[in-house]
Structure 1
Amino acid sequence: MDSRPLGTTGFDVSEIALGTWQLGGSWGSVTNDEAYDAIEAALDAGIDFLDTADVYGDGDSERRIGDVLADRDDDVTVATKAGRRLDPHEADGYNRENLERFVYRSRDNLGVDSLDLVQLHCPPREVYYQPEVFDALSELRDAGKIDHYGVSVEKVEEGLKAIEYDGVETVQIIFNPLRQRPAELFFREAARRNVGVIVRVPLASGLLTGALSADAEFAENDHRNFNRHGEAFDVGETFAGIPFEDGLEAADSIQEVVPEGVSLAQFTLRWILSFDAVSTVIPGSKTPEHIRDNVAAASLPPLSADQFERVEEVYNAYAREHVHHRW
């Protein structure tokens, strides 16, 4: 699997990485052994970038990553996130004291002296207009508590604002065939400023795996159940914000141009990697087999012009009206 530079961090990271939200919570229950097996499978398959957050399972995801890495000698970059532990989750809480507290807790969870990359975890919009927040992150970096920092955003506009700060080296953003707006302006600006782009929710919470149907049922503690309409957090995090039924129809339509022997998930990941501004993609899975299948997507041949055109047609028909101007 090829690597790509992660902005100005100095890290070269695998094109396919592993998102570990599902190894902590909000995707149904997962045991330690299941989580360890998934992380091990990712590392064995060539993944060297893991994305987590301090709120995934109240730290379980970070701790599980730390446990696995402690027993291995891999050269792995671990990105975590901070801010969502605030209650209430308000802009005023993004101050030096709280950020330092979150960073110290993540260091303990991961068992490291300095965090490779810390990302503000989809903070309120006002945070992007508070330079003192980014000054605090710079101070933590200068103190040797974190090596680099970035942001995870909900909206394109937030990403564009964030990269005005010199210290922001990465932006994590939702991008997939059902959420295409970042490719219009944000990718161009990120590339111009040499900012690393981490793509999350690449498979639209499973819609773009082809494995879901209209009668799919999700566990009570799975966000695809409890956040279907944005009851718990931004609805754009669940099924990429597109109504479930429309998403199923869109997935079926894209499937029509997926080559034989290639899964819809692999096709989707290959489509995302076609954009040069993308540094890495972080699909999540609890299943070693799925993780290995995701990695295989990086080796697929480039998509054809006809395939790109079909994906654009599907976006315009099923997704654009729901998501384009919202995120």
Structure 2
Amino acid sequence: MEYAILGKTGFKVSKIGLGGAPLGGDYGGTTDEIVTRVIDHALDLGMNFIDTAPLYGRGESERRIGKALKGKRSDVIIASKAVMRGEPYTYENTIKSVEDSLRRLQTDYIDLIQLHELEQTTFEQAINETLPAFRKLKEQGKVRAIGVNAGRLDLLMPFLQEELVDTIQTYAKYTLIDYSAKDELLPLAKEKQIGVIHGSPLAMGILADHPAPFLQNNAVLLEEAARRMTQLDFLRNTAPNGLVEPALRFSLTCPDIAITLVGTTSIQSLTLNASFCDGRGLSDDEMTKVFSLFQGQRLL
């Protein structure tokens, strides 16, 4: 297992982290027992970072994580988020959201609290309402570090430029078919010493040959993704879903990404994914070829 320091937080984190959406049942049914087994196995593999949110399973992900971590809280860096989609990102709602998360997680503190889905609010509300609430909670010892989350890179950039947070999280923006975070976001985060968390290294399942259900109606995107994947045949191995390994290694070995998140409720899948976190990435020639293919061409 490879480890990194998560920016200004100083947290020593496994470079592969466990994503909490599947633990809440968002991608198929699961149970408390399955989640406990998955988390126990993740800890055995050396993973020490779990990312969740109130949105995942409408609180079920946090509840199950809290139950699974009884007696093991100090072994894990827990990241959660606020506010839940559909609720105003006000100071009061932010405080309530985090208090509810603490209760579900059965813990006195959350290591990293992140503003969830910048797309759902405005920059002004974020800096005038949500972030001040986070800072108040930090003063109270209920959170240890502060971050923001977004799919859109342009929404994250002001938080980097003004050094408003300790971490940023995005998803599917440093993958084999869309590495749009490479040129501006990652270099700036490195300069500002702001930790980067990257979700969906398989591009919403596309690189695992199983696109997420919500993409099925986007024929144009899937057609373009298929075209790009054809150009990556030089990386495809003979294992089932043969781009999974190179895709994970691509993200896991990026020096400017502290944590790559993988979400699963399968022990077998978790074990396989963690085995790629050994410091071995693509060759120099392969990296050069990948970066010559889709430069400046955002997909997701």
State which of 247, 251, 257 in structure 2 corresponds to 1:272.
251
Q: Which residue pairs with 1:132 in the alignment?
A: 128
The answer for the alignment partner of 2:297 in structure 1 is 320
Q: 1:73 to 1:120 in 2, by over 3 A?
A: closer
For residues 15-55 of structure 1, the C-alpha deviation after alignment (integer angstroms, 9 at most, x for no partner) is: 11111111113312222222222222211111100001011
Aligned to 1:206: 205
1:264, distance to aligned residue in structure 2 (A): 2.3
**Which residue, 259, 264, 277 being the options, matches 1:285?**
264
Q: Does 1:144 align with 2:141?
A: yes
Q: Is the 8 A contact 1:4 1:279 kept in 2?
A: yes
The residue matched to 2:147 in structure 1 has which SS? Answer: strand
Equivalent residues in 2 for 1:16-35 (5 A)? 16-35=16-35
CA contact (8 A) 1:53 1:61 kept: yes
C-alpha spacing 1:135/1:321, structure 2 compared with 1 (3 Å) = closer
2:20 and 2:298 mapped to 1: Cα distance?
30
1:65 paired to 2:27:
no
Q: Deviations over 1:113-133 (max 9, x none)?
A: 111111111123753234213
C-alpha distance 31-252 of structure 1, shift in aligned 2 (>3 A): farther
Matching of residues 153-232 of structure 1 within 5 Å? 153-174=150-171, 175=173, 176-209=175-208, 211-212=209-210, 224-226=212-214, 228-229=216-217
- The sequence identity of aligned pairs, in percent, is 28
Secondary structure, aligned partner of 1:269? helix
8 Å CA contact 2:48–2:76 kept in 1: the answer is yes
- 1:85 Cα deviation after fit: 4.1
Establish whether residue 116 from structure 1 lines up as the match of residue 106 from structure 2. no
What is residue 79 of structure 1 aligned with on the other side?
Answer: 79
Task: Return the alpha-carbon distance in structure 2 between the equivalents of residues 109 and 63 of structure 1.
Answer: 5
* Residue aligned with 1:181, SS: coil
CA RMSD, aligned part only? 2.5
- Give the 3-state SS of the residue equivalent to 1:250 in structure 2: helix
1:252–1:46 distance in 2 versus 1, CA, 3 Å: farther
List structure 1 runs of 4+ shifted beyond 6 angstroms: none
**TM-superposition CA deviations, 1:85-118 (whole Å, max 9, x none):** 434xxxxx21210000000000001111111111
Distance in 1, Cα, partners of 2:213 & 2:299: 19
Structure 1 residue identity aligned to 2:213: N
Aligned with residue 277 of structure 2, among 298, 302, 323: 298
The residue correspondences of 1:34-53 to structure 2 (distance < 5 A) are: 34-53=34-53
Name which of structure 1's ranges 252-261 and 16-25 shifts more when overlaid on structure 2.
252-261
Distance 1:267 1:322 in 2: 18
How many residue pairs were aligned?
295
Match of 2:262, SS state, is coil
Contact 1:156 1:182 in 2 (8 A): yes
Deviation at 1:63, TM superposition (A): 1.0
Distance in 2, matches of 1:24 and 1:245, equals 30
TM-score of the superposition, structure 1-length normalised? 0.82
Distance 1:103 1:76 in 2: 18
Q: Is the 8 A contact 2:253 2:279 kept in 1?
A: no
- For 2:95 and 2:113, locate their aligned partners in 1 and report how far apart those are by CA, in whole Å: 11
Question: Which segments of 5 or more consecutive residues in structure 2 lack a partner in the other structure?
Answer: none
Q: CA deviation at 1:171?
A: 0.3
